[in-house]
Amino acid sequence: MLDAMKKEIFLRKDELQNKNLQSLYFGGGTPSVLSADEIKSLIDEVLKHFNFNNDIEITLEANPDDLNSQFLKGLSCSPINRLSIGTQSFFDEDLKLMNRAHNASEAESSIKRAQDFGFENLSIDLIYGSPNSNLEIWKENLSKTIALEVPHISSYALTVEPKTALENWISKGKVSNPKEEEQNREFYYMIDFLKDHGFNHYEVSNFAKEGFYSRHNSAYWKYQEYLGIGPSAHSYNGNDVRSWNVANNQQYIKKLNSNILAKETEILSQQDQFNEMIMISLRTIWGVDLTSLNQKFSPNILDKFNKEIQHKIEEGILKIEDNHLKIPEKHWFMADGIASDLFIV
């Protein structure tokens, strides 16, 4: 797999217009199953073909149970300078419900160990609105995060995915379905609580202390180009071309062994580009840049859009600030629904 990924990096080295990288991200599953030396070998391969900005952000997604002292020691000697830890919760009952391999004690100790090895730029994932949860438990999860001095939080409402243990338990009546009103309550409590503790709410599901915004994810949200390497990885040229690699590991390796890229490509229509820009931008603190929008899209798309936003501005669920269209924060829980009403179909 590593050899195939290195081959793909070489074959696609000319796809990015900007050879100076501001971020590198190891994600999309459990890259922490690799050894620190294997991760470093991939970084070395990237360095053969790209330049790193002096302050490049290099993130590794990791499960708490993978962050033992030996692994962290190896990472601390590598260029990795940011960890995104799949904590989910500091309560065992929540973690069992989500079928997580780690327990509450490991969730906490993994963060402390990472800090002991010099990793201050940490992000953790937290899930709210589980069937077992309530506002008091959620308050304790957030308080624990503050006590651990984690500077970035990505937080999502629990969703029930098909063919999972949770769906099975719900269908058998062992646990109840997540309640949207409870998720809504916990979401808005989190906003106020984290703001009171110095966090900026810069994307619907993301909160950070000043200086700790995810540079990599912000590039997605600002519609910048990116290159994805490995099975299932997606890429985007910053304009109208999106591609994605096959998900099957063996197919991916077989094609790369024959010097064939294991990807499919689509050309985004004006309609696709418009809808994606609206969906992504309205989830952020920056909103939709109306100047760029007017320069990029045709009048027949914009006329319908302008009529629709006028209604929503009058209703108070959209606003315009400095020529940027935004959703007021009090309506962020419904951001995706508001955005979809603006789509061109």
In-domain check, residue 46 = yes
Mean pLDDT (whole number) for 164-190? 75
- Lowest average pLDDT, out of 132-136, 185-189, 197-201, 262-266, goes to 132-136
Q: Which residue has the tokens 């490995």?
A: 230
Domain end, chosen from 187, 206, 221, is at 221
Q: Is 206 found in the same domain as 235? A: no
Mean pLDDT, range 23-37, rounded to an integer = 91
Q: Are residue 119 and residue 155 in the same domain, yes or no?
A: yes
CATH (domain of 95): 3.30.750.200
Mean pLDDT of 6-23: 96
pLDDT confidence band for 3 (50 / 70 / 90):
very high
Residues 291, 185 share a domain:
no
Looking at 41-45, 66-70, 302-306, which range is the least confident one? Answer: 302-306
Asked, for residue 180, whether it belongs to a domain, the answer is yes
Per-residue DSSP letter, 178: P
Which DSSP helix (H) or strand (E) runs through 107? helix 104-116
Quick: pLDDT tens for 130-165: 887 789 999 999 999 999 999 999 999 987 667 666
**Together in a domain, 51 and 147:** yes
Question: Is the domain of 216 the same as that of 235?
Answer: no
Give the helix/strand (H/E) hosting 143.
helix 135-147
Residue 217 maps to a domain: yes
Task: Give yes or no: residues 105 and 161 share one domain.
Answer: yes
* Coil vs helix vs strand at 244: strand
Domain identity same for 296 and 210: no
- Domain membership of residue 12 (yes or no) is no
190 phi, psi to nearest 5 deg: -60, -45
Domain stop point among 267, 294, 328: 267
Say whether both 298 and 330 belong to one domain.
Answer: yes
- The number of folded domains in the chain is 3
Query: Residue 206: which of 150, 149, 278, 125 has the closest Cα?
Result: 125
pLDDT of residue 197 exceeding 70, the answer is yes
Inside any domain, residue 11: no
Give CA 225 to chain center in angstroms.
16
Does 90 lie in the same domain as 184? yes
> 114-149 in b/e burial notation, b at 16+ Cβ within 10 A?
bbebebebbbbbbbbbbbbbeeebbeebbebbeebe
pLDDT digits (tens, 9 = 90+) for 273-302: 999 999 999 999 999 999 999 999 999 889
**Does residue 9 sit within a domain?**
no
Among candidate residues 298, 280, 296, 299, the one with its CA nearest the CA of residue 288: 280
Q: Quick one: the chain helix, strand, coil %, rounded to 5?
A: 45, 20, 35
Same domain? 103 vs 212 = yes
Amino acid 158: pLDDT: 84
List the domain range (segments joined by +) for residue 244: 225-267
185 within a domain of the structure (yes/no): yes
Are 157 and 92 contained in the same domain?
yes
Is 13 inside a domain boundary? no
Residues 211 and 317 in one domain: no
pLDDT band at 98; cut points 50, 70, 90: confident
